[in-house]
Amino acid sequence: MQDFLDDLNPSQREAATSIDGALLILAGAGSGKTKTITARLAYLIDVVGIPPSNTLTLTFTNKAASQMQKRALSMIKNTSIHPPLLCTFHKFGLLFLKFYITHLGRKANFILADSEDTKRIVKELNSDLAPLPLVLSEISRYKNAQMTSSEALKNAHNDTYKHIAKVYGRYGEFLLQKNMVDFDDLLLLPLEIMQQNPQVAKEVSEKYQYIMVDEYQDTNHLQYLLLKCLCSTHQNLCVVGDDDQSIYSWRGANIQNILQFSEHFKGAKVIKLQENYRSTHTILQAANALITKNKERLGKTLISTLGKGKNIEILHAGDEQEEVQKIAKEIRKLLDSGVNPKDIAILFRLNALSRSLEEGFNRARIPYVLVGAIRFYERSEIKDVLSYFRVLVNLEDDFSLARIINKPKRGIGKTTLDKILQLAQAHKTSVYRLFIADSIQEGLQETLKSAIGKKAYDAIEEFFATMLSLQESLRQSSLSFIDTFEQKIGLCEALSKSHDEIDRVSNIEEFYGVYREYIKQNPLMELEDFLNDLALRSDQEDIEMRKESRGIVGVSCMSVHSSKGLEFDYVFVIGLEEGFFPLVREDSNIEEERRLGYVAFTRAKKELFLSYADSRFYRGNRASLAPSRFLSESGVCGTHFKEEAKRDSNTGSFKRGDCVMHKIFGAGRILEVSQSGKELKLKINFGGLEREILGSYVSKV
């Protein structure tokens, strides 16, 4: 027996040495699944004597494939002739098509279109009649459902989807004509070839007699069907996964693949890896308690090999600013005690929550790295809003105008914009001046209409009319201006039409909230002051970014989705309020939200901090929030917490004469109480200084 088996626990060893027939290795977080998979591959080749070329191991990322290959090859001695094939699903599809695409009447010298190629092609075919992200996501969905363009057209429930179905058809024709395949084709076309040519399926299945799949809970329906074809002559399929970590339904992953594995592959053996080598008992106890509330799961309980560990800490704050102050204080303690910042992570459900973290960490001078996302004020959608604001401040700002003149779509493409900018430059004026009646030179109006067409001309005239109207709204009320802005411009509305834009809409709403907060705190300031303050803040962030580029390590800030597969000694999970985590929307799945919570908890090795706030900006407004159900479901909160949460939920009742406390102005007495939307507006006397402040910003004394 080989040495590599000696390092395995009994469950891992059983999994590594179970060879024939279907096998599901149900591997909990931190249970050593990669070690088990690579040991099993080495066992197959070096002990059982299976030729390496008869094995196929499929992963989801190139990084995972590379790591497994290095570990497996370090164990395997019998690789002199043909090394084992270990790659992603899509790499396998590419290799398959090189051999078999001729069965579709196509040449083997096809070109693989990357995501940017796909965007460019679809954009040209789309004619701007539907949001590009929606068109791209629907085309991908059609392909993964094996739906033809005619079927998509038949199932279209409105004009937008009829248009998308037609674009899908033209897109398919374009790829065929140019002998190109896209990313989805790497799964779809091999499946079509094997379904239409059983002999090919038999040939490939006989070649790959032993197949392993990592992260099986993340497979979609197309990948499941592909595996069925690959196993048409045998049942030697070993899949490794964790149903409790299935968090990608939004991109097509089907949890039923792992839940129904034993039905899909009859006689399948199930081995559970439950010994956890990552987290303390206290952390796993909370994770186990949380996930057991789910009904759709196969069931397992993680057991720590590291001992009890420290208690989970609950951080309770009044708002997101106090939250980041408390987190920064805890992190400073850790850093001062010698903890490396790379061993600390902050996790959030929505990227929009990163804004307060970035600002707070900059103030506290805590080094950080934003993982899997760009900085808040550098995000495309935030730059769009900032460009609108700059044009409102200066209608002759052609640089900012060029960014947003066609956002949302107004039928003003790049060619039209180039012509307008060239005309403005030729006449040594701004685009705005070109379209102002009293500034138009003799015959210039007709020249413009001739150059860009009446439709585009009218669209730009309407744009500037809207901007002038918004300027008037801004003069009347800085605070209510933002509602008028969204109503007239509709950036969130345009983005919300796409299936995968939840975070981008949330980011814009978060930014609107930043503006409202600024105006509330600085009622005499104007939009230009707001932009200038942000510009100074961005300079500070640029310094931090340059430090990162020099290799300076910081605290990792990332979404829970981005954290999957990673681990840290110290983990802070923020935004644990109902509506934020779990995310509560019409299409939300509470079981998947709970799985996200389980993933977040199990990233922590030594200590876990869970943070919730009483109020937070939500959709551009400050809202009072209830603590997340996950806090009680995980068993980390006792009676005191429940009483405190109940008491905090009643703090919205204020009356004249009440003494209150404000973080900046100190103690004061309420003079008047009035309603402002869903909140109370209070007129308060702070020792002779009278201020009107929303009720959520003060507490009773």
Residues annotated within a binding site for ATP: 27-34
Active-site option among 12, 34, 38, 217: 34
**Which tokens belong to 150?**
């005619």
Which residues fall within 8 angstroms of residue 573, CB to CB, at 6 or more apart? Answer: 347, 348, 560, 581, 597, 600, 601, 608, 609, 610, 611
Using a CB cutoff of 8 Å and minimum separation of 24, what contacts does 155-161 make?
160/129, 160/130, 160/134
Is 603 annotated as catalytic? Answer: yes
Is 33 annotated as catalytic? Answer: yes
Is 425 annotated as catalytic? Answer: no
Helix (H, G, I), strand (E, B) or coil at 669: strand
Active-site option among 245, 282, 285, 416: 245
Active-site option among 33, 297, 355, 622: 33
Active-site option among 40, 349, 594, 603: 603
**Which tokens belong to 528?**
């230009």
Residue positions forming the annotated binding site: 27-34
Is 214 annotated as catalytic? Answer: yes
* Residue 373 burial class via C-beta count within 10 angstroms: exposed 0-12, middle 13-18, buried 19 and up: middle
Report the 10 Å Cβ neighbour count for 641.
Answer: 16
* Residue 57 burial class via C-beta count within 10 angstroms: exposed 0-12, middle 13-18, buried 19 and up: buried
Strand order in the sheet with 269-273: 85-88, 55-59, 210-213, 237-241, 23-27, 269-273
SS3 annotation, 625-660: CCECHHHHHCCCCCHHHHHHHHHHCCCCCCCCCCEE
Is 245 annotated as catalytic? Answer: yes
Beta bridge partners of 212: 57, 238
Active-site option among 215, 243, 330, 592: 215
SS3 annotation, 504-569: HHHHHHHHHHHHHHHHHHCCCCCHHHHHHHHHHHHHHHHHHHHHHHCCCCCEEEEEHHHHCCCCEE
Active-site option among 214, 243, 322, 614: 214
* Residue 614 burial class via C-beta count within 10 angstroms: exposed 0-12, middle 13-18, buried 19 and up: buried
Is 34 annotated as catalytic? Answer: yes
Confirm if 632 and 667 have CB atoms less than 8 A apart: no
- Catalytic residue set: 33-34, 214-215, 245, 603
